[in-house]
Amino acid sequence: MNKFLLTHLYRRVTYFQTFTKMASSDSGKFRNRLAKEKSPYLLQHASNPVNWYPWGQEAFTKAKTENKPIFLSVGYSTCHWCHVMERESFENEEVGKILNDDFVCIKVDREERPDVDKVYMTFVQATSGGGGWPMSVWLTPDLKPIVGGTYFPPDDRYYGRPGFKSILKKIAEQWKEKRELIDHQGTAILDALMNGILIAGTADLGHPGRESASKCYQMLEKSYDEELGGFGKAPKFPQPVNFNFLFHLYATEPNSEVGKTALEMSLQTLRFMAKGGINDHVSKGFHRYSTDRMWHVPHFEKMLYDQGQLLVAYATAYQITKDEIFADVARDIVEYVGRDLQSSEGGFYSAEDADSYPIDGASEKKEGAFCVWTYEEIQSLLKEPVENKPDAKMADIFCFHYDIKNDGNVDPMQDPHDELKNQNVLIVKGSIGKTAEKFTIGVDKTKQILEQCRQILYEVRLKRPKPHLDTKILSAWNGLVISGLAKTGSVLPNRDFVAKAENAASFIQKYLYKADTNVLLRSCYTEGKDVVQGQTVIQGFVDDYTFMIRGLLDLYEASFNDKWISWAESLQQKQDELFWDTEDGGYFNSVSNDSSLVLRLKEDQDGAEPCSNSVAVSNLLRLSNFIDKPEYIEKANKILTVFNERLMKIPLAVPEMVSGLLFSLSTTKQIILVGDPGSEDLTALIDCLNSQFIPNKVLIISNGQNDSFLKSKLDILQTLTKKDGKATAYVCENYTCSLPVTSPEQLLKVIS
């Protein structure tokens, strides 16, 4: 049985075992309303002794009728600390009784309802200075926030934090004694938040200039870790939006000290991430973040949005440097998402959990159990001697290369629950060359041995209890991975990668798009692993539109099928209809007719995912060049003026938008290739362009086969022809095209 079939079979078996275990536990003493939901996160809480409600009118009515405050808990199915709080508090009958007696309890999957999450996360961050998940917020019956935080331990003095039971009792007591005052305070808090949002999000101070990019660069340089890469102190997150900005800045001034430093900060960080434990060296793909400065001990969950964005980062790094290290990492990410996260119909699942059972039959999950190794395991599994080196085993080479220690290599400070005691998280502190030198074997032989070792360990992993897989398929995150696959497939080049992106786009179009209304849906769910069970009733939010539009534009430039541009235009029109602020400009996160949202926000911060207004700027600029819509350029510029203050004072909050600003300040290169589909001369011109990093380019193919939509939009395509019977390139700027060229060498001269 080949490797792929073995992996696929194992995934299905372990999913069935996990589903059976969940079903068994759900059939116990408690069942609440979450049992009727489709979200994996909500289903995880269906057998809690807490009388949970999903977000909706039934819960709101109960709170008003019984005049009880609402306890809102927000998380997601692969969240480690969400699991901890569930285990400590929500599975506790004493805590359940307090919650049921004094509160109306609502559970929200933040990935399913990002609009609800962002409203109350704004409150938590404003009042506590931080945020995260699980998010715990207490609301009045009319949904005004009163008190909020993140994880709460069950009892007082536990980790130095107030106990959850004490907090519940205090809030319930205050509500009964000072109900009118609390309700008034909730109104005041909401008013203050609204005023702050209006001031920050609608001021029109004119179009920002290049000094915003200079300030963003200075802020990143100041926080840069010169020794180990990354920005800021531990914990360290990948932050792909920073790479996008720094690469873009480099492209605008590649010969300046600023440009060179911007490039080196990105490359150095990507190298250390690839060597660190945040990169899964055995199963591939990246964990969510590193708990330490060295990128060593990760928070072990794997998120689809990270994989998609890091594909773009590593592909771009390879495109600029031609260093195979970056190409290899990109290929590994593609292998991971295609093997472990892609459904048989093409859509991509959301995430893999950090926690899993250490062994079959274990009663409690541990973080990282699926990924870590003891020294004894490695010695036993890799005991074969190295060919022509009788004094060395494969284990010796592997342990040296990945820093594996007899008593484990995890700093106890990074392991507060002793879950990783005596365990090893693979990290490369040296290099292939140093390992080869240490054992006096060639570099190629060393690579071969390490690959053989990783394959042995991968097959052992397949026999371990697998972490929970969140099989929810989100439009937004699929848009991000479509971009990553399309760009990687273009740059390397690899047609199979582009095909994976096309399959994902077709999946979204089939299951999460209503063609009669042009509306995207947020998510759909699978029965078992691969059979689509049904869509959510939740309509898409602005990030579903912006991320999918970006994905479709990137997919066109990889596949040159203009049906993706046609769909992108339809989605852009619907995005404008549903989310554009017609008074002040910019995009709201949610639609205007949802009465359950006490705030309608315009997101203005790039985090683990870029914010929608940031992505929309470059989407609009690109789309305007594809379909000749100058009004889209005006809209992009309007967003930049709306967020002028943000861009000028704290550009580090929106590096993706600063990239869009750089795009707007440059002259777009509209590169049109005319040639026969699949011909060698056309392919040579395409490969030439894909070998160069040109962030302000729009690439269009006119081949008489997949360009009927674009020809209906761009009159210029009717007039451009091949020269001397060869595939021909035209580079157009400001509605003026260069003389036609037919060779890659000539094209490079024109674009440079």
Tell me the pLDDT tens digit for each residue of 141-200.
999 998 888 998 888 865 566 789 999 999 999 888 888 888 777 778 777 776 666 545
Give the integer Cα–Cα distance in Å for 9 and 453. 22
pLDDT for residue 2 is more than 80: no
Q: Give the confidence band of 21 by pLDDT, cuts at 50, 70, 90.
A: very low
The mean pLDDT value for 712-727 works out to: 92
Give the integer Cα–Cα distance in Å for 373 and 369. 9
Q: Give the confidence band of 137 by pLDDT, cuts at 50, 70, 90.
A: very high
**Strand 104-109 to 70-75 pairing:** parallel
516 conformational bin, left if phi > 0, alpha if psi -120 to 50, beta if neither: alpha
**pLDDT attached to residue 564:** 98
The mean pLDDT value for 531-536 works out to: 58
With a pLDDT cut of 90, the percent of the chain lying above it is 76
Half-sphere exposure of 424 (CA within 13 A, CB side): 23
Structure tokens at 48: 């809690």
Q: Give the confidence band of 684 by pLDDT, cuts at 50, 70, 90.
A: very high
pLDDT for residue 23 is more than 70: no
Element spanning 48, H or E: none
**pLDDT attached to residue 199:** 47
Q: Could you report the per-residue pLDDT of 442-477, keeping only the tens digit for each?
A: 999 999 999 999 999 999 999 999 999 999 999 999
Instruction: Give the residue, 589 or 197, on which the prediction is more confident.
Output: 589
With a pLDDT cut of 70, the percent of the chain lying above it is 93
Q: Is 641 helix (H, G, I), strand (E, B) or coil?
A: helix
Cβ–Cβ under 8 Å, residues 563 and 495: no
Cβ–Cβ under 8 Å, residues 518 and 573: yes
**pLDDT attached to residue 6:** 40
The mean pLDDT value for 654-672 works out to: 96
The count of residues in the chain is 752
Q: Give the confidence band of 599 by pLDDT, cuts at 50, 70, 90.
A: confident
Other Cβ atoms within 10 Å of 657 Cβ, number: 31
**pLDDT attached to residue 161:** 67
75: closest CA among 34, 133, 36?
133
Does this model's pTM top 0.85? My answer is yes
pLDDT for residue 303 is more than 80: yes
**pLDDT attached to residue 34:** 94
For the chain, list the domains and their CATH numbers.
31-202 (3.40.30.10), 371-463 (no CATH), 667-752 (3.40.30.10)
Structure tokens at 264: 């080196």
Instruction: Give the residue, 613 or 119, on which the prediction is more confident.
Output: 613
Q: Give the confidence band of 24 by pLDDT, cuts at 50, 70, 90.
A: very low
Residue 194, burial from CB neighbour count under 10 angstroms (0-12, 13-18, 19+):
middle
**Strand 104-109 to 52-54 pairing:** parallel
Average pLDDT over the chain, rounded to an integer: 90
Give the integer Cα–Cα distance in Å for 657 and 220. 15
Cβ–Cβ under 8 Å, residues 728 and 722: yes
Give the integer Cα–Cα distance in Å for 183 and 383. 68
pLDDT for residue 639 is more than 90: yes
